[in-house]
Structures are given as structure tokens and as C-alpha cells.
Structure 1
Amino acid sequence: MEEVLRIGSLESTDLVASVLDLAIGPDSALYVAQAMVPAVTVFSLDGQVLRRIGRAGQGPGEMQLAAVAVGWIGDTLWVADVNRIQLFTTDERRPEQVIQFSRGVPEEGSSLAPGRMLADGTLIGRRRITDGRALSSRGANPGLALRRLSRSGEVLDTIATMEWPGNAIEHERDARLFPGEHPLRDLPPLGLGEYLTALMPDGSAVVQIGKVHEDATPPTFDLLVISIRGDTLLHRSVEYEPREVTRAMERRLADEYAGWRAGDYPPSSPIFERTRRAARRVFWVPEYHPPVRQVVAGTDGTIWLLRELREDRVDIWEVYDSGGTLEGTVEIGHGRSSLVPWDPRLAVALASRDEVWGATYDDYGIPYIHRYLVDRTCAPGPAQNGA
């Protein structure tokens, strides 16, 4: 990949906080949601600020704390904040509709607020964990339901069931730590916010990794595309070679996980050393790496899969066509998408055969948006511009 655009700098105030979501509108502008920014910033595709949509507040056209997700369905711009979605059509200052609800799911220890718009005008909820022990005590691999909701919060149906293979690291009660996501099974930094599941940018379907058949001969994982009505559009078994989690990787992840829970990023005070010890005591690793770490649904029907965490921390993305056939790979060896040390190098937000948009931080915590062009004619060789 060749970097052709970078938005953000130490001197600029255009991009002031971490990127939570971005979308390209029908006007070919870039719409960006940022943490702690109660507005959507609109950039031209050459990186110039065009305007901002929204302001701080709780009324129509205002954002509570921050815009957390943004997208387009046809000619409608939808913007999600903490607990609602606003729909804008002809006037960016006044929404056509404000959607707000909270739907409790006690069996999962969670609640659902408006999360993302679907192509038919219904919604996927944004999951908030309200009872971590209820979530993690439901038995062996029970799965989580991806529900389709009406604009009033009524559950219409279940699009798909997401595999949930023991993601939590449980902590002793005296450690006072909420169960944490395992570094090898963490949630994506951008997108739907569900494990190994991505929503197509047009809101018409979801792409997900289903069951992993580790004990099969040969081992396979299920690559699925499911319409928002629940119809299976693609079910492909992808063969893979299991990679053992080495002792060196186990020690490294244990140190990083314990350091993260103890507050090493940024550095902690000594009072958190008890937390570090407690986190190390309960840390575990599976025998083999999960074959896929993250999923991104391409804007052109491609499917992007981030493969196993490597010792050298180079990210390997595999690119599949809409029929599940592998077309090529992309290697990303530089950058960081968050302060979490095991996160991907680049938080991929939008991808296609021709270009990739993503977000990173520099060593000073300054956020950046990057646009890369994909050279599909290149032979394997040294990375260009960090990719």
C-alpha cells in the first residue's frame, strides 16, 4: 500500500481526538466521528475541513459527549451519540428524526441502545455490558445474538449468532476488576464493536467468522455473509494451519495484559501493583491462536480478515472476494491503532481492492487518519510508507 493522504498533526486542531468512526458520503466527503467531540467533522478527500455537524447538548441537532458512529443510508446521514441516533436529510442542523431507547437483555448481562442504521431503516443495537458476571457465566460457548431492532427499540428478529469462545478473563473478587477481553480475542477498535462480525457499509448484510473447527482434518473456520433478514448469502469453509501460542508469546501477553490493567499506559503509581499481580495470576492463553483476529467488510464486496497475532507484530490482512475466494494479502508492519499494545497496527475503517482508510496514533498520542492506495500489481517486497 502507498500512503497518499494523512490528516492530523501536532500543530493542527482539525483532528483533536481518537477516531471512532468514519464514512464517505454521496458528496465524496469524509465524515469523521471523534472521541470527546460533540460533532461530526467533514473533510474533503484532500484533507481540508469543510464543516462540522452538531454541537454539544441533548437537543435535536446536538450531540451528547461525542458522535460515536456515523454513516449514510441512501441520502440520509445518520449520526449516533451516547444513546441515540439522529437522521439528517435536507438540513444538517435539524434532524428529521431522533431515535432513542434502551433495551435490556438480562440473560446476556447487557443492554442495547441505538447503534448503527441498516439498509431497510431498522437498527443494530450498541451493546453495553451491565453485568459482566452474567455475560461470562452462561455456560460453554453460548454465543451472542445480533438483533435487528425497530426505531422504537422493539426486537424484530435475530440476524445471526456470534460465536463467543470464552473471551473474558475472570478476576478474583478482591481484585475488584471487571472481567477483561482476552488480547487474542479482543474487539475491533472501529466498526460494529462485536466479536469477529462486521456490518457492510451500505447496511445490507453482516460478515462474520462463525465456528472454528480446530480439531477437523484439515482445520477450518466458517466465513459467513448474512443478510439483515437472516438469509445466508455466503458460507465458505476456509482451511488454515493452527499456530501454537508459544511460551514467549504467552509471557509477553501476560506482561502486557497485567500492565494494561495496572495502568502502565500511561505509567501507573505503585498502588496499582496489586492489580498487576492479580491480573497475572488469572491470565491464560489458548493452545492455538484464533485464526482470525478481526473482520472488515469492504465497500466493494471484498472481505478483509486480520490473521493471527505474530511474534514480530506484523499484521497480515487477507483479502477475499464476495464468493470467499482469496485474492491477496496486505502486510502492515508499522504504526499503532491505540495505546493497547496488542491492537492492530492500523485501525481499518474502510477498505476496497483499490484503497484503505484507517486510523493510528503517533508516539505523542496524536491521532491520524490515513488513506492508502492498494497496488494490486506489486510483487512481495519491502513495505512502503509503513504498509
Structure 2
Amino acid sequence: MRGTLPVLVAGAALAACSGDARRPPPPRGFTQYDAVVRVATPDSVEFTRVQAMDVDSRGNLYVADHTDIAVLSPEAKLLRRLGRAGKGPGEFDDVSSVRVLPGDSVFAFDGGAARVTVFAPESERPAHMLSLSTANYVFPYWVMPVSDGSLMGVFRAAYADSPRGRRRDTVRLLNPDASVAVDSVLAFPEYEAVEVEQGPVGGALFSPFGQQTLLANAGDRVYTAWTGSWQVEVYSARGKHLGTVHPQDPPQPLPVTGAEMDSVVTRMQRGGPFERQTIVRALEGAGRKTWPLLDQMLVDDSGRIWMAPTARAGEPLHWAAFDEQGRRVGAFQTPARVKLHLIRGDVAYGVALDGDDVQHVVVYDLKPVHPEPKRT
């Protein structure tokens, strides 16, 4: 079961965009959508930490949920779960990506175990596995299949090389046997951390005011966006820079209010060794007075780049779609506390948090507000 990733991966489509015959025609003009809830999972279907989603040819949804993959019907009924917590074959430590391959085989990458697992269609037993733990570099935390059978992985430098918040993530193209084909497709800074020191104790904490790189993919293209800016860089799978997208109508960054600062400090202090004033001084020293400009980014199966600027707590997210010339071609909004993972055709898939912070998978139909008249 171990070794070179088999032919099941050949021709695989990347995350949000497929290059196969299911791909719809490119959009024309601008369309305003209403995001209408089609279905959501009931309380009886529990999720721990959803990290990725994909859809098969029959509309079944595959949800990477920490230590397994929940398979949901188009009506959001739980059909089965692939894998369970553990280190053995068919077991997961932390599933960070899932992709449905041509023929409806299922590709999963376990970032905790640094291992790829492929399930045959309709099977709950792993057909093939590929370990990445023997490579002579730091393990990847995100891996995806590429259409020629290669793999694309995102790697983070070890702490010994540079302190947290100052390291760089590197995208590498791997051969089907996990050997390196292209050592650096691209590199970008990891998330900005805030350095905290209190007497002899020091460390770096994640700051919600810090910026980071968002990564999306479509076919054999890679899209990156720094959350402090309103532009997208486009690369080929082998690292060629294909262009920069400058979307129209950039939003204005949101200033951090006093109440928001107090709430963030309280969360950062909870369960840690640092005093409140120490964290306040560290955040003030970092100099961030606004929220990151960009909150979420996806690329759909028409090649539209969907971007959602950061909104204040409790406010909806306003999504806008752009083509690669930066023209605005679509828009819709989702309620507060919803994170989208996938847009396929006129359907969006994501996770909503309820009042108790319980995750529910939710599926939206994107209905044109002013649909084009039918042609005769």
C-alpha cells in the first residue's frame, strides 16, 4: 500500500476548480446572487474541525473533519465516515485536504502523519498510501494532487531556522513517489505573530490583527493573496509567474476599535503565562491598527476569483468575484460566522457556527437576482 502514488491520482483536479468536462463556461458580465440555504446538517451530525471539502460526480460532499472524512449526501445526510483517529492504515491524525479524483476516488492528506491516502470509489478501506515522512526536508502541512500525477505541497521551515512569525512557507512540486520535482514553486511569509516577553519568559502568539498569505488553486494554477492587500498573484504548478490580478473597487481596511482590542487581549491571555498589560504592549508594539483587509479567498470551477473582505463581528461577509483581468463579475453575501470552503458552479459549500460554536455544514444555492432572459 505504500510507495508511488498510483494511477488513481493521474488527471486529478485541484481543490476548487476542475479541468474536466464538468467545468461550466466562463461567466459573462456581472451577476448579483442571493445565497439561499439549500440544506444544512442537523445537530445529530457532529464535526470537530472542518478543514476542507470537495464534491463527487453525484453531488455527495466529502468533509475533511480533523481525524476522518464525513461523506454527506446532497441532502446533507451522513452516509459514512472514511477513516478514524489513529496512525494505522486508513486512520488520520489531522486531515488537512480532501479531493475527489476522476472516477470518484478520494484523495486525502493527513498533515499530522505527513501521509497521503487514496480511497477507491464507495470504499471505506484505503486503496493506496504514500508516506512523505522520509523526505529530507520539513514535513508539508498541505498537499494536493496535480493533473499529471504530481503532488503540490506547502512546507514550513523549522523553528531552528527562524523564529515564529518570521519563517517562510515554500510550495514544492513533488513527483508521484514524493521526491522533489521543483524545490521552490514559490515562497511566502507565514502568518504574522506578535512577540511577547515577560521577564525570563518569551514567545510569539498568533495575532488576529496580523497578516498572512491565503492560498487557492484551480487546475494546475496556484493563487496567492496577502491579507493586507487587494491583489492576487497567479503561478503555474512549476513556479512560472503568470500574472498579477488587481481586482476593482478595493475596500478600505477596518480600524480596530477599543472593544475589539479588549476582546482580543482577553482571548490571547486565556490559559497563558502572560499578563494582560504585557500582551497589550506587545500588540501596540506590533503597530497594527486595522484588521487584515482580506478574510477569505476561493477560486471556483469557472476560474472566477472570489474574495471576501474582513467584516466586523456579527456582520455578513460580502463576497465579490473577479476574472483574471480584475473585472468584477459576481457578488453575494453570507451570514456572519460562515466560512466557505468550495464554490462549484452555482453552489457554495461551507461551515457555519451556531450560538454554541458548534459547526454545521451548510450548502448555498447561488441564485441570480436578475437572471438573464432565456434565448429563443
DSSP-derived class of the 2:362 partner: strand
The match for 2:42 is 8
DSSP-derived class of the 1:281 partner: helix
> Is the contact made by 2:53 and 2:63 (CA closer than 8 Å) also made in structure 1?
yes
Match of 2:366 among 360, 374, 380: 374
Q: 1:160 to 1:28 in 2, by over 3 A?
A: same
DSSP-derived class of the 1:170 partner: strand
DSSP-derived class of the 1:368 partner: strand
Q: Does 1:361 align with 2:353?
A: yes
The match for 1:198 is 216
CA deviation map 1:231-265 (0-9, x unaligned) = 3444223355573553xx253443233222222xx
Q: Does 1:117 align with 2:119?
A: no
CA deviation map 1:281-329 (0-9, x unaligned) = 2014435654323311213321111214448743222111354321133
The match for 1:302 is 304
1:227-376 aligned at under 5 Å gives the runs 227-238=236-247, 243=252, 246=255, 249-263=256-270, 272=272, 274-283=274-283, 284-286=286-288, 290-310=292-312, 313-334=315-336, 336=337, 346-352=338-344, 354-376=346-368
Q: Distance in 2 between matches of 1:233 and 1:207?
A: 10
Q: 1:90 to 1:360 in 2, by over 3 A?
A: closer
List runs of 5+ in structure 1 lacking aligned partners: 188-194, 214-220, 337-345, 380-387
Structure 1 residue 149 displacement after superposition: 2.3
1:178-193 aligned at under 5 Å gives the runs 178-185=203-210
> Is the contact made by 1:307 and 1:315 (CA closer than 8 Å) also made in structure 2?
yes
Higher relative contact order (CA 8 A, sep 6+): 2
- Normalized per residue, the structure richer in helix is 1
> Is the contact made by 1:43 and 1:50 (CA closer than 8 Å) also made in structure 2?
yes
Kindly tell me the number of residue pairs found equivalent between the two proteins.
330
The match for 2:186 is 160
The match for 1:209 is 225
Q: Distance in 2 between matches of 1:347 and 1:6?
A: 14
Overall identity of the aligned pairs, in % = 20
Q: Distance in 2 between matches of 1:132 and 1:174?
A: 22
Residue 33 of structure 1 aligns with an amino acid whose one-letter code is: A
DSSP-derived class of the 2:87 partner: coil
> Is the contact made by 2:227 and 2:293 (CA closer than 8 Å) also made in structure 1?
no
> Is the contact made by 2:196 and 2:282 (CA closer than 8 Å) also made in structure 1?
yes
Q: Distance in 2 between matches of 1:58 and 1:125?
A: 21
Q: Distance in 1 between matches of 2:136 and 2:141?
A: 9
> Is the contact made by 1:3 and 1:371 (CA closer than 8 Å) also made in structure 2?
yes
Q: Does 1:170 align with 2:170?
A: no
Q: 1:46 to 1:242 in 2, by over 3 A?
A: closer
Residue 143 of structure 2 aligns with an amino acid whose one-letter code is: G
Residue 197 of structure 1 aligns with an amino acid whose one-letter code is: L
Q: Distance in 2 between matches of 1:124 and 1:16?
A: 27
> Is the contact made by 2:301 and 2:343 (CA closer than 8 Å) also made in structure 1?
yes
Q: Distance in 1 between matches of 2:248 and 2:348?
A: 26
Moved more, 65-74 or 234-243: 234-243
Residue 199 of structure 1 aligns with an amino acid whose one-letter code is: N
CA RMSD of aligned residues (A): 3.3
List runs of 5+ in structure 2 lacking aligned partners: 1-34, 372-376
Moved more, 175-184 or 347-356: 175-184
- Normalized per residue, the structure richer in strand is 2
